[in-house]
């Protein structure tokens, strides 16, 4: 079984994330959306709300599971027997950042990182931009799945 995780904070899930997940699920037998817990990070949405947003979006996709985890992503991959990490790339900056993480993960374990380019119409969307739009009472509905309503 080809099992992959798509790790992130998903604060909140965006249409960019949705794009990568929707395309990534076709590549694997199981795709686990793994919400990382970082005690040092300040989130806009509580963990359970972020998980709820994602579960609602993919409630009809049996190949997708949503879980939370702490610690190193490669250790979590070992725990659940995932052979792949799925990551999305929006721009060259993402590539450089993600490449360093992928090399480190490969050094720490035998995990393979699979990169997908975000669709061009969604490459500008990031969770930080969405949070800024929400904080400033802007219309964020074209940036997130329908389940994300505040």
Q: What's the domain count of the chain? A: 1
As given in the structure block, the two tokens for residue 139 are 């219309």
Q: pLDDT of 139-149, one tens digit each?
A: 999 999 999 97
74 assigned to some structural domain: yes
Q: At what angle do helices 92-108 and 73-80 cross, to 10 degrees?
A: 60
pLDDT of residue 97: 92
pLDDT at 111: 94
Residues with catalytic function: 17, 41, 90, 127
- Say which CATH number the domain at 9 has: 3.40.50.620
Phi, psi (rounded to 5 degrees) for 70:
-120, 155
Query: Which whole number is the average pLDDT over 49-53?
Result: 97
Domain boundaries, position 25: 3-135
pLDDT confidence band for 37 (50 / 70 / 90): very high
Residue 143 lies in a domain: no
**pLDDT for residue 150:** 66
pLDDT reported for residue 72: 94
């Amino acid at each position: 079984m080809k099992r992959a995780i798509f790790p992130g904070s998903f604060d909140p899930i965006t249409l960019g994330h949705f794009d990568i997940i929707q395309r990534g699920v076709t590549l694997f037998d199981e795709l686990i959306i793994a919400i990382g817990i970082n005690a040092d990070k300040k989130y806009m949405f509580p963990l359970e709300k972020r998980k709820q947003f994602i579960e609602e979006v993919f409630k009809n996709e049996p190949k997708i599971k949503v879980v939370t985890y702490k610690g190193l992503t490669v250790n979590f991959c070992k725990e659940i027997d995932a052979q792949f990490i799925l990551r999305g790339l929006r721009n060259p900056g993402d590539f450089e950042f993600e490449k360093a993480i992928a090399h480190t993960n490969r050094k720490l374990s035998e995990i393979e990182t699979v990169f997908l380019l975000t669709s061009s119409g969604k490459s500008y969307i990031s969770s930080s931009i969405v949070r800024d739009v929400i904080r400033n009472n802007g219309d964020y509905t074209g940036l997130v799945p329908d389940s994300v309503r505040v």
